[in-house]
Structure 1
Amino acid sequence: MSHKFIGVCLLLACLVASVHSAAKVPIAIYYESLCPDSAKFITEQLYPAVKGELRDVVDLTFVPFGKSQFFTQGAEVTFTCHHGPNECYGNKVHACAIEHIQANSYQIEYTRESLTLDFINCLMRAGKNFPDNVYPGQRCATENHINNWENIKTCANTTEGSQLLRKAGEATMRLKEPLTSVPSILFNEQFEKKVNDRAQVNFIGTLCQYVSAPQPRICAQHNAAATPSLASVSAILSSLLGLWSIRSFY
């Protein structure tokens, strides 16, 4: 086999990989760890969709900051959070988990992305219901195959956690339009209020509008459900014609 042929094959392989990568839809979730609306969206809309057929068509970025604020005094960073100090700690746990969670080579069924998503979903599902005021980090780590909870906890309780949360704050403040609601969902790095509102009640249907062909089967099902059938259109027209005839008669 000639070197030229091998080179062409490698080039084609790279092109295929590039096309596959480009097919993923970049989605950024700007949220807060104790925000009820954030929890509702992540646990009821985002998680079921991304754990299903759509897992291979999204490139998720989590930004756990929301309407928080931070202040710097020398090397120190202090935070005020929308739902109080517990949320500041929760935001740090999320930021540290996003930074430190790693896949285990002995458990190839779990990727770094899937482990992070599972962990965040567990934390958000717990909400404010912490029995005995115990933050559910360790429990969620154990339930979701996260083997380095101690590293995440240490990060959240040290300056590393503060620096990571500050980065999340800086990313939030760089938004072209200032964040006014939580969660805020950006598709392709763009925020549109109508899209954001629709995604919070129908994330799959909204996401499918951004997925290029060939679309996953679930997108075809949503498109079919959103498109009126010929029979239903005919029934609507018949009803309108009947109503018009009655009005004309009188």
Structure 2
Amino acid sequence: MPLHRQTEMVGSSYSFCHVYISFLLVAMLLLLGPYSAYSSDQKVTVSLYYETLCPYCANFIVNSLVKVFEKGLISIVDLRLIPWGNGWIQSDGSLSCQHGPDECLLNAIEACAINVYPDVNRHFRFVYCIERLTLEGRHNEWGSCFGEAKMGSSPVDCYNKGNGYMLERKFAGETARLNPPRRFVPWVVVDGQALQEDFQNFVSYICRAYRGSQIPEACTSLPSTIDSFEENSENSVCYAGELNNSTSFRH
């Protein structure tokens, strides 16, 4: 075969391969597009610092924070729950909680659930259940939440092995490093910005902080600016330093 003919065939094959590879790349981008739009580096980090038996934390979780799971908002949110709140560590290493030993127990149990079941869709159901019982004055029935959340007893095993205590020490350290310092709970931080008294307006802050292109329905109907807020009454949060049947706890 003449050399020029061989050269034409090689060039033709190269062009075909180039076109085919380009086609595959475009197809992959089209297929991955909807998923890559919600990549973790574009998600807005929302951290809630709370304590399990503060009624205002329970009310916020049950009646407000649950909105994260509505209208597609969770697709752009990395939700973190930190159950420590206004607790403190005694000089002997024991933990004290603002609302007594039951709160220390439930803080540790929820910490274990979050650790054992890192998928927020799973552990939030458990946390939601306990906080709903708190609002109803039935927090001692927290054991029923394992069934309601379709969760095994692994969080209890975690607690019994002392891991709950260690997780609480970790959360205590994270809470102590907050800047500005936490003054009360619930304390909400959106992408590093403490919302302070404006925590009920967290959805607007999430939507404003989001930099991706796939806007969830939860954000499309919100105003482009965050309106001024009315400060919460002094009884709508649990302030640090207030004592309410606090008791030391050590596992």
TM-score, normalisation: structure 1: 0.71
Rate the CA distance shift 1:90–1:181 in 2: closer, same or farther, 3 A. Answer: same
Are the aligned partners of 1:199 and 1:207 in contact in 2 as well (CA < 8 Å)? no
How far apart are residue 33 of structure 1 and its match?
Answer: 0.6
Distance in 2 (CA, whole Å) between partners of 1:163 and 1:29 is: 19
* 1:80 aligned residue (96, 114, 127): 96
How far apart are residue 51 of structure 1 and its match?
Answer: 4.1
Rate the CA distance shift 1:43–1:68 in 2: closer, same or farther, 3 A. Answer: same
Residue 178 of structure 2 is aligned to residue 159 of structure 1: no
Residue 47 of structure 2 is aligned to residue 41 of structure 1: no
Distance in 2 (CA, whole Å) between partners of 1:81 and 1:204 is: 29
* Equivalent residue number for residue 28 of structure 1: 47
* Equivalent residue number for residue 3 of structure 2: none
Distance in 1 (CA, whole Å) between partners of 2:122 and 2:158 is: 18
Rate the CA distance shift 1:134–1:8 in 2: closer, same or farther, 3 A. Answer: same
Rate the CA distance shift 1:7–1:176 in 2: closer, same or farther, 3 A. Answer: farther
Q: Deviations over 1:64-91 (max 9, x none)?
A: 1011011364xxx411101111100010
How far apart are residue 158 of structure 1 and its match?
Answer: 3.6
Are the aligned partners of 1:50 and 1:58 in contact in 2 as well (CA < 8 Å)? no
Are the aligned partners of 2:42 and 2:210 in contact in 1 as well (CA < 8 Å)? yes
Are the aligned partners of 2:38 and 2:75 in contact in 1 as well (CA < 8 Å)? no
Amino acid in structure 2 at the alignment position of 1:25: V
Distance in 1 (CA, whole Å) between partners of 2:156 and 2:103 is: 15
Aligned residue pair count: 207
Structure number with larger C-alpha Rg: 2
How far apart are residue 224 of structure 1 and its match?
Answer: 8.1
Distance in 2 (CA, whole Å) between partners of 1:59 and 1:35 is: 24
Secondary structure (helix, strand or coil) at the match of 2:181 reads coil
Map 1:161-200 to 2 at 5 A.
Answer: 161-191=164-194, 195-200=195-200
How far apart are residue 216 of structure 1 and its match?
Answer: 1.6
Long gaps (5+) in structure 1? 103-111, 228-250
* 1:97 aligned residue (85, 102, 113): 113
Q: Deviations over 1:35-60 (max 9, x none)?
A: 11111111111113324420101001
Distance in 2 (CA, whole Å) between partners of 1:37 and 1:69 is: 19
Long gaps (5+) in structure 2? 1-16, 228-251
* Equivalent residue number for residue 243 of structure 1: none
Amino acid in structure 1 at the alignment position of 2:77: V
Amino acid in structure 1 at the alignment position of 2:116: H
Rate the CA distance shift 1:221–1:7 in 2: closer, same or farther, 3 A. Answer: closer
Map 1:1-250 to 2 at 5 A.
Answer: 20-21=38-39, 22-71=41-90, 73=92, 77-101=93-117, 112-127=119-134, 129=136, 131=138, 134-136=140-142, 138-146=143-151, 148=152, 150-191=153-194, 195-200=195-200, 202-212=201-211, 213-223=213-223
Amino acid in structure 2 at the alignment position of 1:121: Y
* Equivalent residue number for residue 235 of structure 2: none
TM-score, normalisation: structure 2: 0.71
Secondary structure (helix, strand or coil) at the match of 2:188 reads strand
Greater relative contact order, per chain length (Cα 8 Å cut-off, separation 6+): 2
Identity of aligned residues (%): 28
